[in-house]
Amino acid sequence: MFNEYAALIKGLTYRHIGCELTELQVNQLCQFGDLLLEWNQRLNLTRIIDPQEVILKHFIDSMVLAKFIQGIHLADLGTGAGFPGIPLKILRPELKVVLIDSLKKRLDFLDVVIEKLDLQDINTIHARAEDFGRDRKYRKYFDTVSSRAVARLPILLEYALPVLKIKGRFLAAKGLQADQELAESGKALKILGGMSEGIEHFNLGSSAEHRAVILIRKVGQTPSQYPRKAGTPSKSPIV
């Protein structure tokens, strides 16, 4: 089905991202779209099922983050159906990507996507974000962490900053509430070792809602007691 929209994928990527996709990359995105809609019938992965909307609101919306990535080690927290992690990996194949989610069925889907698309240096981890952040293997490991529509920023900071290297960057993809969420996050940033680098707003056209990405730099060590045990950050955010 998505092969019918190959020209649209190429055109929108060039217009919004400034990148000329290869035939392989277009084919991988088409395969991903087909698998997403096929599995969505069983798993309810996304409420967006129109192919043109999937392309704009999932693929392009994910790939917009590419220009803010630093280094090659990327963790996508609460990846869900693979956004933004899978489109970013397709666009930037040199990235070494870890997709984290607490729902095993979603990761089963993503394992199939990774195999079918023959993606290398990408793997899934079944874990709560709090448990992932306490894993010594991954703590202070990543150059960049991304998260899209998982939780409000003060909560996300407690998930993301522990696994970032010093000088690493957190990309929090948001909508209209970005300014308000950043304003709520001063205490969490101070405690967890983060610093705001501002908010980048972008427009994907009249058919897409307002989008923004909050850029956070890790400038100090995150105290060892963070993240707190699973469920605590969402019930009692640092505000």
Find the domain containing 229 and state its range: 66-235
Distances (CA, A) of 141 to 74, 133, 134, 138, 233: 9, 10, 12, 5, 21
Q: Is the peptide bond before 84 cis (omega within 30 degrees of 0)?
A: yes
Task: Extract the annotated binding site for S-adenosyl-L-methionine.
Answer: 78, 83, 129-130, 148
Is 137 within the bounds of a domain?
Answer: yes
Q: Tens digits of per-residue pLDDT, 37-49?
A: 999 999 989 999 9
Mark out the alpha helices in 92-231 (DSSP H runs).
Answer: 104-116, 129-134, 153-160, 178-183, 186-192
Cβ atoms within 10 Å of 17's Cβ, excluding its own: 18
| 72, two tokens | 């090659």
| 171, two tokens | 């990309």
Cβ–Cβ < 8 Å for 155, 56:
no
Q: How many domains does the chain have?
A: 1
Task: Please list, residue by residue across 53-74, b when 16 or more beta carbons sit within 10 angstroms of its beta carbon and e when fewer do.
Answer: ebbbbbbbbbbbbbeebeeebb
Is 34 within the bounds of a domain?
Answer: no
CATH of the domain at 158: 3.40.50.150
Is 30 within the bounds of a domain?
Answer: no
| 186, two tokens | 């001063």
pTM over 0.85: yes
- Please list the ranges in the chain whose pLDDT falls under 50: none
pLDDT for the residue numbered 149: 74
Q: Please work out, in degrees rounded to the nearest 5, the angle formed at the alpha carbon of residue 161 by the alpha carbons of 156 and 167.
A: 135
| 178, two tokens | 């970005």
Beta-carbon contacts of 235 under 8 Å, excluding residues fewer than 6 positions away, are none
pLDDT for the residue numbered 10: 98
Is 146 within the bounds of a domain?
Answer: yes
Q: Tens digits of per-residue pLDDT, 108-162?
A: 999 999 999 999 999 999 999 999 999 999 999 999 999 997 799 999 999 999 9
Q: Is the peptide bond before 154 cis (omega within 30 degrees of 0)?
A: no
Is 180 within the bounds of a domain?
Answer: yes
pLDDT for the residue numbered 210: 82
Q: How far apart are CA 121 and CA 143, in angstroms?
A: 15
Task: Extract the annotated binding site.
Answer: 78, 83, 129-130, 148
| 221, two tokens | 């060590």
Is 9 within the bounds of a domain?
Answer: no
Is 192 within the bounds of a domain?
Answer: yes
pLDDT for the residue numbered 206: 75
pLDDT for the residue numbered 209: 79
Q: Please, how many CA atoms are within 13 Å of residue 49, restricted to the half-sphere of its CB?
A: 9
Is 21 within the bounds of a domain?
Answer: no
